[in-house]
Chains A and B, each alone.
Chain A
Amino acid sequence: NAGVTQTPKFQVLKTGQSMTLQCAQDMNHEYMSWYRQDPGMGLRLIHYSVGAGITDQGEVPNGYNVSRSTTEDFPLRLLSAAPSQTSVYFCASSLRLPSSGNTIYFGEGSWLTVV
């Protein structure tokens, strides 16, 4: 009963480095997304996917890349890390649209610091 699994939990990067945050769900959910959480800014949507092979941009997509090759996995890539990307990142999934009453389930979060 894993739900949404994110790795790593904590990561420190140097400016300019690239890395991938992994996300996997075992609930056969169609929808997956990445949010970032910053003090005073709430949760902001980075990218989302409505199914394998389909991705789209959210509110703050710049500097991030995603792909959805399988239903289960939705990795988030930081192309060239910047201090402004220091944040807590959450992966989330739901069976269908929350606007139809479906629940979005979140992972445990990935704390990223860019120095």
Chain B
Amino acid sequence: AQSVAQPEDQVNVAEGNPLTVKCTYSVSGNPYLFWYVQYPNRGLQFLLKYITGDNLVKGSYGFEAEFNKSQTSFHLKKPSALVSDSALYFCAVPRAVNDYKLSFGAGTTVTVRA
């Protein structure tokens, strides 16, 4: 089965500093990779996805993600973090070819301090 891993449980950054949330993947063939964000007591909101093409994918709320095939990574980035970016972030990949289910990483809690 295809999977993703998020090596950091928590990321702490100061407001205005760059934010990076790491994700590595294990897939067969071409990967489809997704990032979601979950704010407290809210559902998962789709941020962006990689299908094919440009390695730099731009998404919602000023986030972008860089696909790196050689390092099997899909790190989420934001050039200048806001306090309001404090949330739980999930990387995800389809569990298998022709599978409906997404396999999620364990999640990374981002705290942006003022």
Query: Which residues of A are at the interface with B, using a C-beta cutoff of 8 A?
Result: 4, 6, 31, 33, 42-43, 45, 48, 50, 58, 90, 94, 97-101, 103-109, 111
A residues near B34, Cβ cutoff 8 Å: 98, 103-104
B residues near A94, Cβ cutoff 8 Å: 100
Partner of B32, one of A4, A43, A98, A109: A98
- 25 A-B residue pairs with Cβ-Cβ distance under 8 Å, sorted by A, are A4-B43, A6-B43, A31-B100, A33-B100, A42-B106, A42-B107, A43-B102, A43-B104, A48-B101, A50-B100, A94-B100, A98-B94, A98-B101, A98-B102, A99-B94, A99-B95, A99-B96, A101-B32, A101-B49, A103-B49, A104-B34, A104-B46, A106-B45, A106-B46, A109-B41
* A97 & B104 in contact (Cβ 8 Å cutoff): no
- For B74-102 the 0/1 string (1 means CB < 8 A from A) is 00000000000000001000111111111
Closest Cβ–Cβ distance, residue B40 to chain A (whole Å):
11
B residues near A90, Cβ cutoff 8 Å: 43-44
**Range class of the B interface residue count:** 20 to 34
Bound-state CA distance A48–B45 (Å) is 19
* A99 & B98 in contact (Cβ 8 Å cutoff): yes
A-B contacts counted at CB < 8 A amount to: 61
Query: Which residues of B are at the interface with A, using a C-beta cutoff of 8 A?
Result: 32, 34, 36, 41-46, 49, 51, 90, 94-102, 104, 106-107
Asked, given contacts A31-B100, A97-B99, whether A106 binds B106 with beta carbons under 8 Å apart, the answer is no
What residue in chain A is nearest B32 (Cβ atoms)?
A101
Closest Cβ–Cβ distance, residue B47 to chain A (whole Å):
10
Partner of B97, one of A31, A48, A99, A109: A99
A residues near B49, Cβ cutoff 8 Å: 101, 103
A residues near B97, Cβ cutoff 8 Å: 99
Partner of A105, one of B46, B95, B99, B106: B46
Asked, given contacts A48-B100, A58-B101, whether A97 binds B42 with beta carbons under 8 Å apart, the answer is no
Across the A-B interface, the 5 shortest Cβ-Cβ residue pairs: A99-B94, A101-B51, A108-B43, A106-B44, A106-B43
